[in-house]
């Protein structure tokens, strides 16, 4: 059975910068969607196999997340291959990638994505590399041919200090939606080791920070779910839509219209 393309959202987690939180966000988002009752596939496109390793240690007691180790196969980026290897009931596909530098790699990833999340840490170096990456992304011919929703997830922000002004300045200059902020929290590395999501950790002493991070992941899901898929919207239209603004009509209507 081929997946029902009307229901599937393919979420690409990507940045040219290594260590910015791609695997952390991909795995935690996979868990968050799974806990919300969605059928989830996690695609590991990275030869390091970090998501695959996370999946290997994941307990069977947790929600089931299907893993596809795309980097192991030839032709991994072919849309056809990609679809036939995807179980038919999947509703959310989350793609964890390597740090993409090559234009061809970016092209095939863009072509297989409906929505693009760019994790970014708040340092000057990370912002500089991310700005270059975002520019490469939105000016890429594959993107311009069919623009998709792109949003930044700011990662590892100090919980007490909050979002630095330099990041707010960066985000307004980049003119890309700021989807959510994740904080620097030990729970993410604990969860990575245990093959679970931050929302699956049980710790009464850290309940408050875990709940805060869970809320941020829910904000990402809400944003993703309100974006048009395989859209023909223009970059200008994407820029005009304020972050978190509700779209008109039902989701199915908008999905169908976007894919028509
Ligand atoms: N918000 C966070 N709080 C605390 N630790 C974090 C957070 N985000 C990521 N980390 C830790 O930072 C390290 C790098 O994160 P991660 O592996 O997700 O980055 P990546 O972008 O996938 O890296 P790579 O480019 O190597 O694939 C990991 O040890 C992870 O546990
Ligand atoms: Mg990774």
pLDDT tens-digit readout, 189-234: 999 999 999 999 988 788 999 999 999 999 999 999 999 875 444 4
Q: Is 181 in the pocket of ligand 1 (CB under 6 A)?
A: no
Residue 193: name the closest of 98, 84, 58, 74 by CA.
58
Q: Tell which wins on pLDDT, 230 or 102.
A: 102
The pTM is what? Answer: 0.85
CA of 156 to the centre of ligand 1 (A): 9
Q: Is 189 in the pocket of ligand 1 (CB under 6 A)?
A: yes
Distance from C-alpha of 246 to C-alpha of 87, rounded to nearest angstrom: 30
Ligand 1 atom at minimal distance to the Cα of residue 182 = 1
Residue 79 has pLDDT above 80, yes or no: no
CB of 184 sitting under 6 A from ligand 1: yes
Ligand 1, atom 16: nearest CA belongs to which residue?
A: 21
- Report the pLDDT value the prediction gives residue 174, as an integer from 0 to 100: 86
Half-sphere exposure of 118 (CA within 13 A, CB side): 30
Write out pLDDT tens, residues 50-78: 999 999 999 999 999 999 988 765 544 54
The ligand that comes nearest to the alpha carbon of residue 99 is 1
7 versus 163: which is more confidently predicted? 163
Ligand nearest to the CA of 120: 1
Domains of the chain with bracketed CATH? 9-243 (3.40.50.300)
**Confidence band of 5 (pLDDT split at 50, 70, 90):** low
State residue 100's pLDDT score.
77
What average pLDDT does the segment 150-167 reach?
A: 95
Phi, psi of 43 (to 5 degrees): -105, 120
**pLDDT at residue 83 greater than cutoff 80:** no
């Amino acid at each position: 059975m081929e997946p029902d393309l009307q229901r599937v959202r393919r979420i690409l987690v990507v940045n040219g910068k290594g260590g910015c939180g791609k695997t952390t966000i991909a795995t935690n988002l996979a868990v968050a969607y799974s806990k919300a009752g969605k059928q989830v596939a996690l695609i590991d496109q990275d030869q390091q196999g970090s998501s695959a390793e996370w999946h290997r240690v994941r307990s069977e007691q947790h929600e089931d997340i299907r893993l596809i180790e795309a980097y192991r196969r030839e032709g991994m980026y072919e849309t056809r291959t990609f679809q036939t290897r995807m179980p038919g009931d999947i509703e959310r596909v989350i793609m964890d990638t390597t740090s993409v530098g090559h234009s061809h790699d970016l092209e095939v990833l863009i072509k297989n994505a409906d929505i693009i999340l760019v994790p970014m840490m708040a340092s000057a170096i990370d912002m500089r590399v991310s700005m270059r990456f975002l520019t490469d992304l939105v000016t890429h011919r594959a993107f311009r041919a069919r623009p998709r929703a792109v949003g930044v997830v700011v990662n590892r922000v100090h919980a007490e200090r909050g979002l630095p002004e330099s990041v707010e300045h960066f985000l307004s200059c980049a003119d890309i939606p700021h989807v959510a902020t994740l904080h620097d929290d030990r729970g993410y590395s604990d969860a990575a080791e245990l093959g679970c999501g931050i929302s699956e950790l049980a710790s009464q002493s850290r309940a408050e920070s875990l709940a805060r991070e869970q809320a941020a992941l829910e904000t990402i899901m809400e944003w993703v779910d309100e974006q048009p898929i395989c859209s023909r919207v223009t970059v200008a239209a994407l820029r005009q839509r304020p972050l978190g603004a509700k779209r008109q009509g039902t989701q199915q209507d908008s999905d169908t219209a976007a894919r028509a």
